[in-house]
Amino acid sequence: MHAALQIKSLKTARALAMFIFIFLPLWTLLVMGREEGGVGSEEGVGKQCHPSLPPRCPSRSPSDQPWTHPDQSQLFADLSQEELTAVMSFLTQKLGPDLVDARQAQPSDNCVFSVELQLPPKAAALAHLDRGSPPPAREALAIVFFGGQPQPNVTELVVGPLPQPSYMRDVTVEHHGGPLPYHRCPVLLLESLDIDQMIFDRELPQAAGVLHHCCSYKQGGRNLVILTTAPCGVQSGDRATWFGLYYNISGARIYLHPVGLELLIHHKALDPAQWTIQKVFFQGHYYKSLAQLEEQFEAGQVNVVVIPDNGTGWLT
Ligand SMILES: *[C@@H]1O[C@H](CO)[C@@H](O)[C@H](O)[C@H]1NC(C)=O
Ligand SMILES: *[C@@H]1O[C@H](CO)[C@@H](O)[C@H](O)[C@H]1NC(C)=O
Ligand SMILES: *[C@@H]1O[C@H](CO)[C@@H](O)[C@H](O)[C@H]1NC(C)=O
């Protein structure tokens, strides 16, 4: 009885704590948002100051309110378009002509993956905010993929001072305790297109018979699509991803229509021509390759389930 009561009061206390931690800050934010919105302009104030809602009207002038001070918020403001452009042209100039636009980059190219604000060191930020010291230099953090060198890597560069950068500093080891191996970079746009091409142009034709039987496959037809899965491996150093095949049914979500075929693609090599299929999963069984699946199908050893090429087939 006593224990039950304790548990009950514990639960109540937890619920209360949750309320305080989750809802109060949200409520405060909402109210602050309203006030900030209101103090932005005289017109806004006029609209917000409805006689029935007096507590929401700002009672002080904008400059009294620390969180709306433009100079201070500038310290943590995202990079502006001009600053992003300045960083990109600085990097282009420093990293040489090998830099390729990220949308067009092959794994074997150098490209800038991202540029964002590098937050100032806390001590320098506080010295400025609390004690009026000069503001710390505004800096950007750029993540660069160096695929076009004998030992490819991922590098983090701090670029500053903005808006006219004159220096860049390699902070990879400082941030990660060592070099960042290249296989850790996310799949690039062109890389995913190359995987698509590899599957449809090079691999699926090797199992044309069984795929035609189960899934109305025709070479060059577009009734099948691939969907990626995560993660890209099971241990450090892997860059191998399972792709599932689905019917491309217009107007319906393709992930509702798997055909029971999945391919494990090994895509760590920088040259797509060297990528391979490590394993094939077809309707409950594993195969070494699509060629082996086709061989066993032709020998009558594969029990194929025919999947209707129309999503409604599953429901009716
Ligand atoms: C990664 O490559 C860049 C560009 O070549 C180089 O400056 C940097 O030293 C390399 N990082 C490591 C840890 O080798
Ligand atoms: C899916 O099918 C539509 C036509 O229904 C076609 O336009 C589209 O290219 C196909 N998508 C893929 C990835 O093949
Ligand atoms: C699926 O079958 C129904 C009924 O036969 C037909 O009306 C519909 O057009 C088909 N849908 C597709 C995507 O083939």
CATH of the domain at 87: 3.10.450.40
In a domain, 65, yes or no: no
What pLDDT does residue 76 have? 92
> Could you say which of 162, 184, 206 is where a domain stops?
184
Question: From ligand 1's centre to the CA of 192, what distance in Å?
Answer: 25
Q: Count how many Cα atoms sit within 13 Å of the Cα of residue 66 in the half-sphere of its side chain.
A: 2
- Tens of pLDDT, residue by residue, the chain (316 residues): 444 444 444 444 444 444 444 444 444 444 343 333 333 333 333 333 344 444 555 555 555 555 455 666 789 999 999 999 999 999 999 998 889 999 899 999 999 999 999 999 999 999 999 998 999 999 999 999 999 999 999 999 999 999 999 999 999 999 999 999 999 888 888 999 999 999 999 999 999 999 999 999 998 888 899 999 888 888 888 999 999 999 988 766 667 788 999 999 999 999 999 999 999 999 999 999 999 999 999 999 999 999 887 654 444 3
Residue 250, domain extent: 189-299
Q: Are 153 and 247 contained in the same domain? A: no
**Angstrom distance (rounded) from CA 121 to CA 3:** 49
Number of domains into which the chain is organized: 2
Sign of CA dihedral 37, 41, 47, 53: positive
Co-location of 269 and 245 in the same domain? yes
Q: Looking at the domain assignment, is residue 18 inside a domain?
A: no
Give Cβ neighbours of residue 240 (< 8 Å, ≥ 6 apart): 232, 233, 264, 265, 266, 267, 268, 278
Q: Is there a single domain that holds both residue 177 and residue 202?
A: no
Assess whether 166 and 207 both reside in one domain.
no
Query: Is 248 near ligand 2, meaning CB less than 6 Å away?
Result: yes
**What pLDDT, on the 0 to 100 scale, is given for residue 310?**
65
Asked whether residue 28 is assigned to any structural domain, the reply reads no
Dump pLDDT digits (tens) for 212-230: 999 999 988 888 999 998 8
The SS3 assignment for 240 reads strand
Same domain, 230 and 277: yes
Tokens of 100: 């390729």
Indicate the pTM of the whole model.
0.69
**Count of beta carbons in the 10 Å neighbourhood of residue 184:** 13
- Give the C-alpha separation, 189 to 195, whole Å: 10
Domain shared by 133 and 165, yes or no: yes
User: From atom 8 of ligand 1, which residue's Cα is the shortest distance away?
Assistant: 155
Cα 218 to Cα 222, 256, 311: the distances in Å are 8, 21, 18
Kindly state whether residues 159 and 143 are assigned to the same domain: yes
Residue of the CA atom closest to atom 8 of ligand 2: 222
- Per the listing, tokens 């095949």 go with 245
Looking from the CA of residue 250, the nearest atom of ligand 3 is 13
pLDDT of residue 71: 65
The first and second tokens of residue 189, run together, are: 């746009």
The whole-number pLDDT of residue 252 equals 64
Q: Which of 112, 145, 170 to mutate to test the pocket of ligand 1 (most atoms within 8 A of CB)?
A: 170
What residue owns the CA closest to ligand 2's atom 4? 250
- Kindly state whether residues 252 and 269 are assigned to the same domain: yes
Ligand 2: atom nearest CA of 225 is 13
What's the rounded Cα separation, in Å, for the pair 220 and 224?
Answer: 10
**How remote is the CA of residue 222 from the centroid of ligand 2, in Å?**
6
Q: Is residue 19 part of a domain?
A: no
On whether residue 225 sits in a domain, the answer given is yes
Q: Are 133 and 225 found together in one domain?
A: no
CA–CA dist 147, 180 (Å, integer): 12
In a domain, 30, yes or no: no
User: Using omega within 30 degrees of 0 as the cis cutoff, is the peptide bond preceding 62 cis?
Assistant: no
Q: Which atom of ligand 3 approaches the CA of 312 most closely?
A: 1
Domain match, 121 and 207 both: no
Task: Evaluate whether residue 63 is within a structural domain.
Answer: no
In a domain, 142, yes or no: yes
Single-letter residue type at 300: G
CB 61 within 8 A of CB 40: no
* Cα 146 to averaged position of ligand 1 atoms, centre (Å): 8
- Both 94 and 155 in one domain: the answer is yes
The last residue of a domain, from among 145, 162, 184: 184
Mark which of 153, 184, 215 sits at the end of a domain: 184
Asked whether residue 293 falls in the same domain as residue 198, the answer is yes
